[in-house]
C-alpha cells in the first residue's frame, strides 16, 4: 500500500452538479457492488468448499481503499455484500456470518481510524515511508481479521482445533495479498483529481510509440503466462517475470497511477493462475506451499510500488530543486533564468509580435537606506503583487533581481495603455512601515519584438536601454524603444562599452601613455607627466581614446574599478623598471567622480604603495572641478587622507564648473589645471584671456601652482609664460606616447620662450 492517507476526494466535473445525497447513494452502491464482485472472485479462488480459505482476498483491498478515502461511514459496503454471499453464493452456518462480518469490518475500521489520527490526512505526498507504515497496518488488519474469522469458523464447526493455525495463517495471508495488490492502485485512482496537477509537473512524458510498445509487450507477456500452462511449461517463475519486468519499466517511465494499476492487474492475475494451478504453477496443497506462494505474490506485488514511490520521490525532489532554481524565493515569481527561457520560447515560435516591458523602481535605494532593507523587501513584494494583479492570460512576469521586473505580453490590444497603467499603479502604491509610508514610482522600458526577425540579446538590450532612458528623463514613465531613436542607440552603445571595459580589464588590454608637463620658467630637472589611458581592441589592435570609453565607465559605475586598475598598472610598470624612478618628479593619475566617494580608496593606495618602489610624494591625483563639488565634504576627506600619505592633488578642467570659487577653501590642492577651452581661445577671445588671468591670480593667492592644458603652439606657450602660468602641457611640448617609448626618449626642452 504505497500511498499516503488521503483527504476526501473532490467530486468530478460530471458529478459536481449532483445533489449530495444522490451522489453519496450512487457512490455507496458502486462500492458495495465492487466489494461483492471482488468477494465472488475470491470464492472462485477457493473451489474446495465453504470451509476453505482463498489465496487472495481482493475485497479487503477495496474496503481499505474506500474507507481511507471516504471515511468510516462507508463501513456498510463491507457488511451488506457478505450476507447474500454467505446465504446464497457460498452457504455457511448462520453462527459464522456475524464473525465473518466482524472479521472484515472491525480491523479495517480500526486501522483507518488510527491512520487518520496518526498521520497528516491532507499530505499529498507519495513516499516509501508512508507506504511502509500502511503496510504495517495491513499486517495488523490481516492478523486481527484472521483471529476473528477463524474463531468464528471454530465456533460454527467449520474448523477443528488442529486446523485452526493453518486456516488462520491462510486467512491472514489472503487478506494481506489482497490489500497489497489492490489498495495502492485504487487509492491512487480515487485521488487522481488531486494527484494529477503535481504529477503533470514531474512525470516523465514518454512518447506515444513507447506507450504503445509497452502495452503490446505487457499483453503479450500475460498471454504467454496463460498459454504456458496449456503447454505444461516448467518455467512458471521465469515466465511470470516477463510482465514483472514490464511493470518495472512502467514504474520508471510512466505515471505512478499507470504503473500501480498495471501491477494490480498482473498480481491479481498471477494469484488467479497460481491458485487454480494454471500457467505452469501447481495449486498449493499444504500450508507451507501456500505460505511460499503467498510470499512470492507479496514480493511481486511490492517491488513495483516501492520502485514507483522511490522514482516519484526523486522526480518531486528534482522538480522542487528546478522550481527553486527558476523562482525568486521572496516574491515566488519566476527569476531571471526562467525569464530567459520564456523569452527564448516566445522568439522560437511563430506567434504574433510581442512586447517586453522592463520595470525598474525609481530611487529605490532611498527606501533601503532610510528605512531598512526589510522595508525595501516589503515594498518589492507590494510592487510584485501590483504587477501580478494586472497580469492577463498568456502574459509572463518575472523578477529580474533587486527592484527590477520584466513582463512579456502579446502586442495585441492597447499595449501602450496597459504599460502606462502599470506605471500608474506602482505610483499609487502606498505601504505603511511603522510610522512611515513608503512610496515610489517606476521607469518602464518597452521593446516590441518580432519572433520572425529579433534575437534574444537584441530584445533585452533594447528594453534595458529604454528603461534607462525613462530614468534619465525623470522616471515615472514608459519609454518605447524605436530602432530609429539615436538617443536610445547611444545608450545601448554605452551599455556595450561597459561590457567591453570589463573584458578589457580582465584581459589586461589597456595601454599606458604619458604626456609631459613642463615648467614655463627655468629648466625641469626631473620629469613631470600625466598618465593617459588607451584601450587596445581585441584582435584588431587599434588604440581607442578615453573619450570613447570613459563616459560609459562613469555611467555604469565602473570608474572606481578602472581607477584602481590604472593605478595598479602604473605602479607595476615602474616596479618592473625601477631605474627610471630617479628621473621622476611627479606622476599624475586621473580619478573619476565615483572614486572620490569611495572611502576605501585611500586604504587601497596605502596598501599598494607599501609594496611598491614608487614613493607617495611622487604621485599626483587629478580630479575634475565638477566631480569635487558634488559632495564637497567627502571629496575633502579623501583629499586630506591621501595628502597625509604624501600624495599631491590637481584640480582638472579648472574654471568650467562654477562661477563661485568659495569651495576652494575646503579643498587642499596643489595644482589648478586651466581648462583647455580657455587656453585655445586666448588668441581671439578677450574673455578667455581674462579667465586665465583670474585663475593665475587665484593660484597666487592660494599658493597653488597653475598648469595650462592644450598648449598647441610655441606662441601660445610663450604667451602663457608671460602671464605667469607655472606649467604647460600640450602638443607644443610633446604628444602622448606609450610609456616605454616615453622613457626611452630624452625629456622635452622645458626652457620658456618669453616673447
Q: What angle do CA 455, 456, 462 make, to 5 degrees?
A: 90
Give the residues across from 405 on adjacent strands. 359, 399
Residue 239, C-beta contacts closer than 8 angstroms, at least 6 positions apart: 224, 225, 228, 233, 279, 280
pLDDT exceeds 60 at position 164: yes
pLDDT exceeds 70 at position 149: yes
pLDDT exceeds 60 at position 200: no
Pairing of strands 584-590, 619-624: parallel
- Residue 540: strand, helix, or coil: coil
Distance CA 571, CA 755 (A): 40
| pLDDT, mean of residues 340-353 | 85
| pLDDT, mean of residues 328-339 | 92
Nearest to 5 by CA among 119, 98, 84: 119
| pLDDT, mean of residues 282-299 | 78
Identify whether the C-beta of residue 426 lies closer than 8 Å to the C-beta of residue 439: no
Domain borders along the chain are: 20-321, 336-483, 508-744
Q: Which pLDDT score, from 0 to 100, does residue 632 have?
A: 86
Q: 367-390, pLDDT tens digit by residue?
A: 998 899 999 999 999 999 999 999
| pLDDT, mean of residues 605-626 | 93
Q: Tell me, which fold does domain 336-483 have in CATH?
A: Alpha-Beta Plaits (3.30.70)
Q: Which pLDDT score, from 0 to 100, does residue 748 have?
A: 84
Q: Which residue intervals of 327-455 are DSSP H helices? A: 336-348, 364-370, 373-389, 415-427
Q: Which pLDDT score, from 0 to 100, does residue 753 have?
A: 36
pLDDT exceeds 50 at position 5: no
Burial class (CB in 10 A: 0-12, 13-18, 19+), 489: middle
pLDDT exceeds 60 at position 51: no
Distance CA 366, CA 547 (A): 32
| pLDDT, mean of residues 499-511 | 89
pLDDT exceeds 50 at position 345: yes
Q: Which pLDDT score, from 0 to 100, does residue 52 have?
A: 58
The pLDDT confidence band at residue 736, using thresholds 50, 70 and 90, is very high
- Tell me the whole-structure pTM to 2 decimals: 0.54
Q: 215-266, pLDDT tens digit by residue?
A: 898 888 878 776 765 555 556 666 777 888 888 888 888 888 888 899 898 8
The torsion of the CA quartet 554, 556, 560, 564, rounded to 10 degrees, works out to -100
Q: Is 508-744 the same fold as 336-483?
A: no
| pLDDT, mean of residues 566-578 | 96
Give the three cell numbers for residue 256.
505512478
Distance CA 45, CA 178 (A): 12
Identify whether the C-beta of residue 53 lies closer than 8 Å to the C-beta of residue 170: yes
Q: Which pLDDT score, from 0 to 100, does residue 404 have?
A: 95
Q: 388-401, pLDDT tens digit by residue?
A: 999 988 899 999 99
Residue 459, C-beta contacts closer than 8 angstroms, at least 6 positions apart: 343, 347, 356, 447, 449
Distance CA 53, CA 57 (A): 9
CA distances from 639 to 236, 528, 569, 587 (A): 93, 20, 22, 16
pLDDT exceeds 50 at position 566: yes
Q: What is the 3-state secondary structure (H, E, C) of 545-565?
A: CHHHCHHHHHHCCCHHHHHHH
The pLDDT confidence band at residue 499, using thresholds 50, 70 and 90, is confident
Q: 402-418, pLDDT tens digit by residue?
A: 999 999 998 877 889 99
Torsion angles phi and psi, residue 619, rounded to 5 = -100, 145
| pLDDT, mean of residues 340-345 | 91
The pLDDT confidence band at residue 300, using thresholds 50, 70 and 90, is confident
pLDDT exceeds 60 at position 743: yes
Q: Which residues of 132-144 are buried (b: 16+ CB within 10 A; e: fewer)?
A: ebbbebbeebbbb
Give the three cell numbers for residue 334.
519566476
pLDDT exceeds 80 at position 290: no
Distance CA 473, CA 274 (A): 83
The pLDDT confidence band at residue 563, using thresholds 50, 70 and 90, is very high
Percent share of the chain, pLDDT over 70: 86
Q: Which pLDDT score, from 0 to 100, does residue 364 have?
A: 92
Q: Which pLDDT score, from 0 to 100, does residue 673 have?
A: 94
pLDDT exceeds 60 at position 608: yes
- Residue 81: strand, helix, or coil: helix
| pLDDT, mean of residues 297-325 | 83
The pLDDT confidence band at residue 198, using thresholds 50, 70 and 90, is very low
Sign of the dihedral defined by the CA atoms of residues 338, 339, 340, 342, in that order: positive
Identify whether the C-beta of residue 727 lies closer than 8 Å to the C-beta of residue 707: yes
- Residue 643: strand, helix, or coil: helix
Distance CA 637, CA 632 (A): 9
The pLDDT confidence band at residue 152, using thresholds 50, 70 and 90, is very high
Give the three cell numbers for residue 117.
489520527
pLDDT exceeds 70 at position 148: yes
Give the three cell numbers for residue 489.
542607440
| pLDDT, mean of residues 704-730 | 94
Distance CA 697, CA 266 (A): 105
Identify whether the C-beta of residue 449 lies closer than 8 Å to the C-beta of residue 354: yes
Burial class (CB in 10 A: 0-12, 13-18, 19+), 573: middle
CATH class of the domain whose range is 508-744: alpha beta
Choose the weakest-confidence range: 39-48, 455-464, 514-523, 625-634: 39-48
Residue 347, C-beta contacts closer than 8 angstroms, at least 6 positions apart: 449, 451, 454, 455, 456, 459
Q: Which of 328-332, 472-476, 602-606 has the highest mean pLDDT?
A: 602-606
Q: Which pLDDT score, from 0 to 100, does residue 11 have?
A: 43
Q: Which pLDDT score, from 0 to 100, does residue 703 have?
A: 93
Q: Which pLDDT score, from 0 to 100, does residue 15 have?
A: 44
Q: Which pLDDT score, from 0 to 100, does residue 457 have?
A: 85
Q: Is the model more confident about 155 or about 630? A: 155
Q: Which pLDDT score, from 0 to 100, does residue 751 have?
A: 41
Q: Is the model more confident about 530 or about 392? A: 530
Q: Which pLDDT score, from 0 to 100, does residue 301 have?
A: 85
- Residue 328: strand, helix, or coil: coil
The two most distant CA atoms of the chain are separated, in Å, by 142
DSSP track, 189-244: HHTHHHHHHHHHHHS----HHHHHHHHHHHHHHHHHHHHHHHTT-S-HHHHHHHHH
pLDDT exceeds 60 at position 197: no
Q: 107-121, pLDDT tens digit by residue?
A: 999 999 998 887 654
The pLDDT confidence band at residue 278, using thresholds 50, 70 and 90, is low
Q: 85-113, pLDDT tens digit by residue?
A: 888 888 889 999 999 999 999 999 999 99
Q: 417-437, pLDDT tens digit by residue?
A: 999 999 999 999 999 999 889
Amino acid at each position: 500500500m504505497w500511498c499516503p492517507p488521503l483527504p476526501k476526494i473532490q467530486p468530478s466535473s460530471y458529478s459536481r452538479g449532483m445533489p449530495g445525497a444522490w451522489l453519496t447513494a450512487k457512490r455507496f452502491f458502486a462500492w458495495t457492488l465492487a466489494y461483492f464482485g471482488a468477494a465472488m472472485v475470491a470464492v472462485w479462488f477457493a473451489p474446495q468448499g465453504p470451509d476453505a480459505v482463498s489465496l487472495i482476498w481482493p475485497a479487503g483491498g477495496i474496503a481499505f481503499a474506500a474507507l481511507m478515502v471516504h471515511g468510516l461511514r462507508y463501513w456498510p459496503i463491507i457488511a451488506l455484500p457478505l450476507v447474500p454471499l454467505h446465504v446464497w453464493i457460498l452457504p455457511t452456518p448462520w453462527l459464522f456470518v456475524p464473525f465473518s462480518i466482524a472479521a472484515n469490518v472491525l480491523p479495517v475500521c480500526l486501522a483507518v481510524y488510527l491512520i487518520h489520527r496518526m498521520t497528516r490526512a491532507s499530505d499529498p505526498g507519495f513516499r516509501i515511508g508512508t507506504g511502509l507504515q500502511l503496510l504495517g497496518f495491513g499486517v495488523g488488519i490481516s492478523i486481527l481479521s484472521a483471529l476473528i474469522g477463524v474463531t468464528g469458523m471454530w465456533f460454527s464447526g467449520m474448523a477443528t482445533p488442529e486446523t485452526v493455525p493453518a486456516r488462520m495463517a491462510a486467512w491472514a495471508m489472503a487478506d494481506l495479498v489482497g490489500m497489497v495488490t489492490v489498495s495502492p492502485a485504487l487509492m491512487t485512482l480515487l485521488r487522481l483529481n488531486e494527484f494529477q496537477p503535481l504529477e503533470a509537473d514531474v512525470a516523465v512524458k514518454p512518447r506515444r510509440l513507447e506507450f504503445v510498445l509497452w502495452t503490446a509487450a505487457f499483453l503479450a507477456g500475460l498471454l504467454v503466462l496463460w498459454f504456458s500452462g496449456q503447454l505444461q511449461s516448467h518455467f512458471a517463475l521465469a515466465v511470470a517475470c516477463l510482465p514483472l519486468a514490464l511493470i518495472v519499466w512502467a514504474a520508471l517511465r510512466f505515471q505512478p497511477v499507470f504503473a500501480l494499476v498495471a501491477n494490480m492487474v498482473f498480481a491479481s492475475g498471477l494469484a488467479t493462475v497460481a491458485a487454480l494451478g494454471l500457467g505452469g504453477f501447481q495449486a498449493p496443497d499444504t500450508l507451507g506451499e501456500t505460505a511460499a506462494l503467498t510470499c512470492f505474490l507479496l514480493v511481486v506485488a511490492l517491488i513495483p510500488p516501492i520502485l514507483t514511490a522511490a522514482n516519484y520521490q526523486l522526480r518531486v525532489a528534482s522538480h522542487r530543486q528546478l522550481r527553486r532554481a527558476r523562482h525568486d524565493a521572496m516574491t515566488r515569481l519566476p527569476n531571471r533564468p526562467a525569464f530567459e527561457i520564456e523569452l527564448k520560447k516566445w522568439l522560437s515560435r511563430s506567434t504574433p509580435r510581442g512586447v517586453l516591458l522592463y520595470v525598474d523602481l525609481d530611487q529605490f535605494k532611498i527606501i533601503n537606506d532610510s528605512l531598512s532593507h526589510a522595508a525595501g523587501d516589503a515594498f518589492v513584494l507590494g510592487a510584485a503583487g501590483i504587477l501580478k494583479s494586472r497580469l492577463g492570460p498568456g502574459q509572463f512576469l518575472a523578477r529580474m533581481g533587486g527592484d527590477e521586473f520584466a513582463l512579456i505580453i502579446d502586442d495585441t490590444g492597447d499595449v501602450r495603455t496597459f504599460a502606462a497603467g502599470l506605471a500608474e499603479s506602482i505610483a499609487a502604491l502606498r505601504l505603511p512601515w511603522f510610522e512611515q509610508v513608503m512610496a515610489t514610482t517606476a521607469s518602464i522600458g518597452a521593446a516590441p519584438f518580432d519572433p520572425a526577425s529579433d534575437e534574444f540579446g537584441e530584445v533585452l538590450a533594447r528594453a534595458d536601454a529604454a528603461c534607462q532612458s525613462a530614468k534619465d528623463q525623470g522616471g515615472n514613465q514608459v519609454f518605447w524603444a524605436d530602432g530609429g531613436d539615436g538617443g536610445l542607440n547611444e545608450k545601448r552603445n554605452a551599455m556595450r562599452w561597459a561590457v567591453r571595459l570589463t573584458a578589457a580589464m580582465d584581459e589586461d588590454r589597456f595601454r599606458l601613455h604619458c604626456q609631459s608637463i613642463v615648467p614655463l620658467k627655468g629648466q625641469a630637472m626631473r620629469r613631470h607627466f600625466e598618465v593617459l589611458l588607451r584601450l587596445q581592441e581585441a584582435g584588431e589592435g587599434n588604440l581607442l581614446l578615453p573619450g570613447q570609453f570613459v563616459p560609459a565607465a562613469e555611467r555604469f559605475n565602473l570608474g572606481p574599478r578602472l581607477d584602481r586598475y590604472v593605478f595598479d598598472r602604473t605602479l607595476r610598470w615602474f616596479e618592473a623598471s625601477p631605474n627610471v624612478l630617479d628621473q621622476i618628479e611627479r606622476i599624475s593619475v586621473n580619478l573619476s567622480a565615483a572614486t572620490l566617494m569611495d572611502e576605501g580608496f585611500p586604504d587601497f593606495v596605502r596598501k599598494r604603495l607599501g609594496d611598491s618602489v614608487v614613493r607617495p610624494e611622487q604621485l599626483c591625483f587629478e580630479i575634475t572641478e565638477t566631480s569635487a563639488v558634488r559632495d564637497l565634504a567627502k571629496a575633502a576627506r579623501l583629499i586630506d587622507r591621501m595628502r597625509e600619505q604624501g600624495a599631491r592633488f590637481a584640480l582638472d578642467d579648472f574654471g568650467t564648473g562654477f562661477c563661485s570659487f568659495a569651495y576652494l577653501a575646503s579643498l587642499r590642492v596643489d595644482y589648478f589645471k586651466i581648462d583647455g577651452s580657455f587656453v585655445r581661445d586666448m588668441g581671439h577671445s578677450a574673455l578667455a584671456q581674462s579667465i586665465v588671468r583670474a585663475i593665475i591670480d587665484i593660484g597666487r593667492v592660494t599658493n597653488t601652482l597653475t598648469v595650462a592644458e592644450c598648449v598647441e603652439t610655441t606662441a601660445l606657450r610663450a604667451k602663457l609664460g608671460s602671464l605667469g602660468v607655472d606649467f604647460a602641457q600640450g602638443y607644443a611640448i610633446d604628444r602622448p606616447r606609450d610609456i616605454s617609448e616615453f622613457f626611452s626618449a630624452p625629456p622635452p626642452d622645458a626652457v620658456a620662450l618669453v616673447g
